[in-house]
């Protein structure tokens, strides 16, 4: 292994330290991503530049010479093998984005607010009952895990009997500790499950995104069956795990920084949104996003780097969010930071996340409501006991146990 190549930890045991090391190697550096070498872009200026460069593609089939070999041996094969707007390029990407875009426009997002609030209130009532019964409440499992799932299922018109079957395989898409066999099995099982769901929705159409996509597929939009299934996979994975991470990370930051939480409480309508934006900057839910490819050589002479034609490019969002050349005291969580919303956590350019407004709205409503329901909540374990999810891609915690401060004091006294 070339010593100049940074090997990314599949279990992400020290995300902050690893990102610091990546930045120290320059704006653009070589990394090993589960055995695949790529150029990781950690400086926001270079990231913006390459994310808007027409010479950078997400279509591995067209622009990655090692595509066939990689999908047979690389555990993250599904990230480059799907056929949807995530991997599309140029006019193909624009056409697919137009199909999904209306589901996430401002009007739809605004209309979803009461739905999000209703789901939030129901989950918080269950959490309060669990806490009253003396059980430990896990903010991830009991709240952040369920809320985005229910929102996405509402958008997709998915009955509850399908929902739990989807949760585990979608979550495993982000698990980079899986070996190739397990990753292949999970990806195929998930796509088969979604294909069966499409058949169900053909027989039971409704006013939802899935039915809209089926009508496009069966009409004159020339959307292939594979593109239909893979687009549903994209909506699920992008709308679920990443929003889970955003809710967990936002509330971890607030609970770990009580002075910041107190500032937010003075004006939650205005400042909870700021806390969400600062979390996206400081602790991006998607740490890195595989992959893009140079359609021709790209020269960056000012840093003596040439990205060769067909070479993979990795967007390093979490490293960019804490870049000291752009953000003052980047490790500090500051809800009053004036430039926190200039983060790139949702991407940039043509492939910027369509669901960004919905995800931030979910996190804002969820966090505001949680702190009203649990006004004296604290993290129920020492923070060094919090364990990150085992994923190079996803940046969150496996658990976030919480308790009331008064109960913790009684427990310590006993």
| DSSP 8-state code for residue 374 | S
pLDDT at 80: 94
Would 1 be classed as within a structural domain? Answer: no
Given a cut of 70, whether residue 305 has pLDDT beyond it is yes
pTM of the predicted model as reported, rounded to 2 decimal places: 0.92
Percent pLDDT > 70 in the chain is 96
Tell me the pLDDT tens digit for each residue of 245-303: 999 999 999 999 999 999 999 999 999 999 999 999 999 999 999 999 999 999 999 99
Would 45 be classed as within a structural domain? Answer: yes
What are the CA-CA distances from residue 188 to residues 26, 158, 170 (Å)?
38, 20, 11
d(CA 100, CA 355): 10
Would 41 be classed as within a structural domain? Answer: yes
Instruction: Give mean pLDDT, residues 83-94.
Output: 88
CB atoms near residue 177 (< 10 Å): 17
What are 369's two structure tokens?
């409501």
What are 293's two structure tokens?
């490819």
Domain holding 260: CATH number?
A: 1.10.630.10
Would 263 be classed as within a structural domain? Answer: yes
Task: Give the count of domains, the chain.
Answer: 1
d(CA 173, CA 237): 8
Query: 26: which residues sit within 8 A by CB, 6+ positions away?
Result: 43, 303, 305
Strand bridging mode 36-41 / 312-316: parallel
pLDDT at 208: 86
Would 19 be classed as within a structural domain? Answer: yes
Would 343 be classed as within a structural domain? Answer: yes
The per-residue pLDDT of the chain, averaged, comes to 91
* 167 neighbors 149 (Cβ within 8 angstroms): yes
pLDDT confidence band for 94 (50 / 70 / 90) = confident
pLDDT at 37: 97
Tell me the pLDDT tens digit for each residue of 204-249: 999 888 888 888 766 655 678 888 888 888 888 877 888 999 999 9
What is the domain range of residue 292?
6-413
pLDDT at 102: 79
């Amino acid at each position: 292994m070339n010593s100049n190549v940074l090997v990314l930890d599949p279990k992400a045991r020290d995300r902050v330290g690893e990102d610091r090391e990546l930045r120290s190697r320059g704006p653009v550096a070589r990394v090993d991503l589960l055995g695949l070498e790529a150029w990781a872009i950690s400086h926001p200026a270079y990231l913006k530049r390459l994310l808007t460069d027409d010479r950078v593609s997400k279509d591995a089939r067209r622009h990655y010479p090692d595509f066939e070999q990689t999908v047979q041996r690389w555990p993250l094969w599904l990230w480059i093998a799907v056929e949807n707007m995530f991997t599309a390029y140029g006019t193909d990407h624009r056409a697919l984005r137009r199909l999904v875009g209306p589901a996430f426009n401002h009007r739809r997002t605004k209309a979803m607010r009461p739905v999000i609030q209703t789901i939030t209130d129901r989950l918080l009532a269950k959490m309060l009952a669990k806490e009253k019964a003396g059980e430990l409440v896990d903010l991830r499992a009991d709240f952040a895990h369920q809320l985005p799932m229910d929102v996405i299922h509402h958008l997709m018109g998915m009955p509850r009997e399908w929902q739990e079957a989807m949760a585990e395989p979608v979550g495993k898409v982000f698990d980079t500790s899986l070996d190739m066999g397990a990753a292949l099995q999970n990806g195929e099982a998930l796509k088969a499950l979604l294909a069966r769901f499409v058949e169900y929705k053909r027989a039971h159409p409704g006013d939802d995104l899935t039915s809209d996509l089926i009508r496009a597929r069966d009409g004159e939009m020339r959307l292939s069956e594979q593109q239909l299934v893979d687009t549903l996979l994209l909506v699920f994975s992008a709308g679920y795990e990443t929003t889970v991470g955003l809710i967990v990370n936002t509330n971890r930051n607030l609970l770990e920084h009580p002075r910041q939480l107190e500032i937010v409480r003075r004006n939650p309508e205005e400042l909870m949104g700021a806390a969400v934006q600062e979390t996206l900057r400081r602790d991006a839910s998607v740490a890195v996003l595989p992959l893009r490819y140079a359609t021709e050589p790209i020269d960056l002479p000012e840093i003596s780097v040439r990205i060769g034609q067909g070479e993979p490019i990795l967007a390093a969002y979490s490293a960019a969010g804490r870049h000291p050349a752009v953000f003052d005291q980047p490790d500090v969580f500051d809800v009053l930071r004036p430039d926190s919303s200039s983060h790139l956590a949702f991407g940039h350019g043509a492939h910027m996340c369509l669901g960004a407004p919905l995800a931030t709205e979910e996190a804002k409503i969820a966090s505001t409501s949680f702190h009203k329901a649990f006004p004296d909540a604290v993290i129920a374990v020492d923070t060094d006991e919090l364990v990150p999810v085992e994923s190079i891609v996803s940046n969150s915690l496996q658990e976030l146990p919480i308790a009331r401060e008064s109960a913790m004091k009684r427990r310590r006294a006993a």
